[in-house]
C-alpha cells in the first residue's frame, strides 16, 4: 500500500465543513456557540443555525470573489461574527488569517503582505489602523459599525441555498496564525483542515470534554488556544462554546454559573477570582494549564489538566490528567499521536534521563503538526530535523517518561501569554541613532509573568539617557505591539559576555530582576 494513503487514512473524507454538517445532522438543536457580551443582549447558535449562518457567509464570500486558496484577514476582537467568518472561509476553501488586534499599522502591513491577503473583516475601532497600514485589499467588511471605504459585515451574508459545497480536501490550508519565535519577524503558521480534525479528535480526549460540557472561551480567538484547544475540542464532541469578548474578573462567576461552564483555559491572572473564598457553587470542574499542579486543584476548586502545546503543534502535544497522579510541576507525558525526544541542541545527541535538552516532537505535517511557515521555506526547513519539529523549549526527561519544563530559548519571551521575539525588539531599538548595542530580555512580573526590558550601550555621539530613552520608546510604540514595547531601558557600559563574546542573557535577566519591580 502507498504510504501516503496510509498516512491520510485517519482524516480521509473529513474537513471543517464536514464536521459542521455532522453535528447539524446529529445534534441540530444543541447549542454550539453562545455569545456572552459585556453589554447588550447575547445570542445562542444551535448546530443547525451555526451551519446555516456559516453557509450564508460562504455564499456571500463566493459572491465577492473569495474562493479556494484566497487569504482573508480577520482582524477582530472576540465576537460571533469573527468565528462565523473564520468558519465560512474554511467552508469555501479560503484561508482565514487571524491577527493580533494590538498590532501596529506597520505590523498589520507585514501580516497582509506575508500572507497575501486580498480582503479583510474587522471592527470599527480597528479599521483605522488597518487603513493606516496601507495594505492593498480588494474590500474590507466592518462588524457592527462603519468606516470609510468599507461596507457592513451584514452585507456579506448571501443565500445559504446557493452554496453548493466543494470537494473535501483534508490537507487544504484553512488558517494562518502569526507566532513569534527567535527570528526577527513573526512567522505565518499554516494549519490545514486535517489539523482541525486532529484537534477536534485529540483535544477533547486530553481534557475529558463530553457532549454536554461547556467550554468558556475568554482568551483571544486569534490565538491557537481559543481556536484549536477550545473551539475545535468543542466541535469534536458536539459540545458548547461560550464566547466572551475578553477576560472579566467582575463578570466571571456570573457567566460561569448562568451558562453552566464546565471547562476553561487557565492563565495566572485567573487564579485570584477562582481562589476567592466566596466563590459560588458551579459546574466548573476542569482548568487547562501548562503543568501538573495538584496544589492548584484545592486552591482553585477544580481539577487542573496539564497541557503543553504551541501554534505549530495545533493542540495539546504533552498532557497530564489528575487521575494519572503524575509528578507535580511536570508537563505530563506525550499525548497519543506525538513522539517526543529531548535532544542536545548543539550536538543532536539524545539526552539521557535527568539531562536538560531541547524538546523535539514528531508527528505528520499537516495533521499533528502545522503544515509550513507560509512564504518562508527557509524557516520551515530550519524548524525540522527530518520528521522532528524543534520546539525551542528546554526540558528535562524524568522518570516514567514525564517531561519537566526548564527554560525557553533565551530569545523568546512570554508576556502575559503572548510570544515576543527579543530579536524583533532589538532590531527596532538597534536602528535608533545613539544606540551602539542593545540586548532585550524578560524581567519577572507578578501579573504578566514577565515583561520586556532593554539593556542599551550608548554610542559616543548619543544624546543624554533621558532623551535616548524617549526616542527608543517612541520608536517601539510606533513599530511594535504594546506588549512588545520595553517597560524599561537600562543603560550600561558593557554586556556580560561568555565564550566567543556571546551576550550572557541569563546574567542580564538576573540584573533586570534585581532592579525595582515595574
For the segment 474-511, what is each residue's pLDDT rounded down to a tens digit?
999 999 999 999 999 999 988 887 654 568 888 899 89
* pLDDT score for 345: 85
For residue 209, is it within any domain? yes
| Cell 524557516 found at | 379
Decide: 203 and 229 in contact? Cβ < 8 Å.
yes
Domain boundaries, position 351: 8-394
* pLDDT, tens digit, 9 for 90 and up, residues 217-257: 999 999 999 999 999 999 999 999 999 999 999 999 999 99
> Where do runs of H (alpha helix) occur along 301-389?
377-383
**Whether 364 and 441 share a structural domain:** no
For residue 454, is it within any domain? yes
Which of the listed residues 336, 367, 394 is the one where a domain comes to its end?
394
Angle (deg, nearest 10), helices 16-26 and 193-207? 50
* pLDDT, tens digit, 9 for 90 and up, residues 63-106: 999 999 999 999 999 999 999 999 999 999 999 999 999 999 99
Average pLDDT, the chain: 93
Closest to 296 (Cα-Cα) out of 321, 259, 314, 271: 271
Q: How confident is the model at residue 459 (pLDDT cuts 50, 70, 90)?
A: confident
Say if residue 295's pLDDT is above 90.
no
Which of the listed residues 335, 362, 394 is the one where a domain comes to its end?
394
Which of the listed residues 353, 368, 394 is the one where a domain comes to its end?
394
For residue 188, the domain's CATH number is 3.40.50.12780
Q: How confident is the model at residue 448 (pLDDT cuts 50, 70, 90)?
A: confident
**Whether 357 and 431 share a structural domain:** no
**Whether 388 and 448 share a structural domain:** no
**Whether 377 and 425 share a structural domain:** no
For residue 156, what is the DSSP state? G
Decide: 269 and 252 in contact? Cβ < 8 Å.
no
| Cell 520608536 found at | 475
**Whether 202 and 321 share a structural domain:** yes
Long-range contacts of 507-514, Cβ-Cβ distance < 8 Å, separation of 24 or more: 508/439, 508/441, 508/455, 509/441, 509/442, 509/443, 511/455, 512/441, 512/442, 512/443, 512/453, 512/455, 512/488, 513/443, 513/444
Distance in angstroms between the alpha carbons of the first and the last residue of the chain: 61
For residue 399, is it within any domain? no
What DSSP letter does each residue of 365-386 carry, written as one string? BTTTB--EETT-HHHHHHHEET
SS3 string of 407-441?
EECCCEEEECCEEEEHHHHHHHHHCCCCEEEEEEE
For residue 404, is it within any domain? no
Say if residue 4's pLDDT is above 60.
no
- Mean pLDDT, residues 401-419 taken together: 80
For residue 407, is it within any domain? no
Closest to 54 (Cα-Cα) out of 101, 89, 6, 14: 89
For residue 230, what is the DSSP state? I
**Whether 370 and 470 share a structural domain:** no
Share of the chain above pLDDT 90, in %: 78
**Whether 429 and 351 share a structural domain:** no
Decide: 273 and 252 in contact? Cβ < 8 Å.
yes
Number of domains in the chain: 2
For residue 462, the domain's CATH number is 3.30.300.30
Say if residue 273's pLDDT is above 90.
yes
> Where do runs of H (alpha helix) occur along 387-518?
422-430, 465-479, 505-514
Q: What is the dihedral of CA 55, 164, 72, 233, to 10 degrees?
A: 50
* pLDDT score for 416: 82
**Whether 232 and 360 share a structural domain:** yes
Q: Enter the C-alpha cell of residue 171.
A: 490537507
Closest to 402 (Cα-Cα) out of 463, 347, 342, 482: 342
For residue 363, is it within any domain? yes
The whole-angstrom separation of Cα 485 and Cα 453 is 8
For residue 352, is it within any domain? yes
**Whether 420 and 361 share a structural domain:** no
**Whether 237 and 270 share a structural domain:** yes
For residue 294, is it within any domain? yes
**Whether 234 and 177 share a structural domain:** yes
**Whether 157 and 287 share a structural domain:** yes
Amino acid at each position: 500500500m502507498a504510504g501516503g494513503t496510509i498516512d491520510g487514512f485517519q482524516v480521509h473524507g473529513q474537513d471543517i465543513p464536514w464536521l459542521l454538517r455532522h453535528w447539524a445532522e446529529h445534534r441540530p438543536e444543541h447549542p454550539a456557540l453562545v455569545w456572552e457580551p459585556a453589554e447588550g443582549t447575547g445570542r445562542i447558535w444551535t448546530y443547525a443555525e451555526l451551519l446555516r449562518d456559516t453557509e450564508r457567509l460562504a455564499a456571500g464570500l463566493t459572491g465577492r470573489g473569495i474562493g479556494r486558496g484566497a487569504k482573508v484577514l480577520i482582524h477582530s476582537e472576540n465576537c460571533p461574527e469573527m468565528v462565523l467568518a473564520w468558519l465560512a472561509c474554511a467552508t469555501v476553501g479560503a484561508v482565514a488569517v487571524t491577527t493580533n488586534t494590538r498590532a501596529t499599522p506597520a505590523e498589520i502591513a507585514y501580516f497582509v503582505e506575508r500572507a497575501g491577503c486580498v480582503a479583510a473583516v474587522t471592527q470599527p475601532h480597528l479599521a483605522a489602523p488597518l487603513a493606516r497600514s496601507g495594505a492593498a485589499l480588494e474590500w474590507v467588511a466592518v462588524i457592527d459599525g462603519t468606516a470609510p471605504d468599507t461596507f457592513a459585515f451584514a452585507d456579506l451574508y448571501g443565500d445559504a441555498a446557493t452554496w453548493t459545497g466543494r470537494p473535501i480536501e483534508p490537507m487544504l490550508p484553512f488558517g494562518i496564525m502569526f507566532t513569534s519565535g527567535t527570528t526577527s519577524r513573526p512567522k505565518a503558521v499554516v494549519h490545514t483542515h486535517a489539523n482541525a480534525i486532529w484537534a477536534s479528535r485529540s483535544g477533547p480526549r486530553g481534557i475529558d470534554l463530553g457532549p454536554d460540557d461547556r467550554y468558556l472561551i475568554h482568551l483571544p480567538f486569534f490565538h491557537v488556544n481559543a481556536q484549536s484547544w477550545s473551539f475545535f475540542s468543542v466541535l469534536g464532541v458536539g459540545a458548547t462554546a461560550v464566547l466572551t469578548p475578553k477576560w472579566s474578573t467582575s463578570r466571571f462567576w456570573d457567566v460561569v454559573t448562568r451558562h453552566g461552564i464546565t471547562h476553561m483555559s487557565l492563565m495566572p491572572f485567573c487564579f485570584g477570582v477562582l481562589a476567592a473564598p466566596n466563590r459560588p457553587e458551579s459546574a466548573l470542574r476542569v482548568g487547562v494549564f501548562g503543568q501538573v499542579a495538584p496544589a492548584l486543584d484545592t486552591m482553585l476548586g477544580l481539577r487542573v489538566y496539564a497541557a503543553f502545546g504551541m501554534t505549530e503543534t495545533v493542540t495539546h502535544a504533552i498532557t497530564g490528567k489528575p487521575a494519572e497522579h503524575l509528578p507535580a510541576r511536570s508537563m505530563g507525558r506525550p499525548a497519543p499521536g506525538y513522539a517526543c525526544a529531548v535532544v542536545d541542541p548543539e550536538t543532536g545527541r539524545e539526552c539521557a534521563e535527568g539531562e536538560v535538552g531541547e524538546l523535539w516532537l514528531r508527528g505528520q505535517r499537516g495533521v499533528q503538526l502545522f503544515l509550513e511557515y507560509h512564504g518562508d521555506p527557509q524557516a520551515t526547513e530550519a524548524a525540522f530535523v527530518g520528521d522532528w519539529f524543534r520546539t525551542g523549549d528546554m526540558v528535562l526527561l524524568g522518570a516514567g517518561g514525564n517531561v519537566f519544563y526548564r527554560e525557553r530559548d533565551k530569545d523568546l519571551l512570554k508576556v502575559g501569554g503572548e510570544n515576543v521575539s527579543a530579536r524583533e525588539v532589538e532590531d527596532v531599538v538597534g536602528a535608533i541613532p545613539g544606540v551602539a548595542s542593545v540586548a532585550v530580555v524578560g524581567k519577572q512580573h507578578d501579573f504578566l509573568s514577565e515583561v520586556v526590558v532593554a539593556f542599551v550601550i550608548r554610542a559616543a555621539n548619543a544624546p543624554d539617557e533621558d532623551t535616548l530613552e524617549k526616542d527608543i520608546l517612541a520608536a517601539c510604540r510606533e513599530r511594535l505591539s504594546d506588549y512588545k514595547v520595553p517597560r524599561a531601558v537600562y543603560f550600561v557600559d558593557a554586556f556580560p559576555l561568555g565564550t566567543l563574546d556571546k551576550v550572557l542573557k541569563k546574567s542580564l535577566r538576573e540584573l533586570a530582576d534585581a532592579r525595582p519591580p515595574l
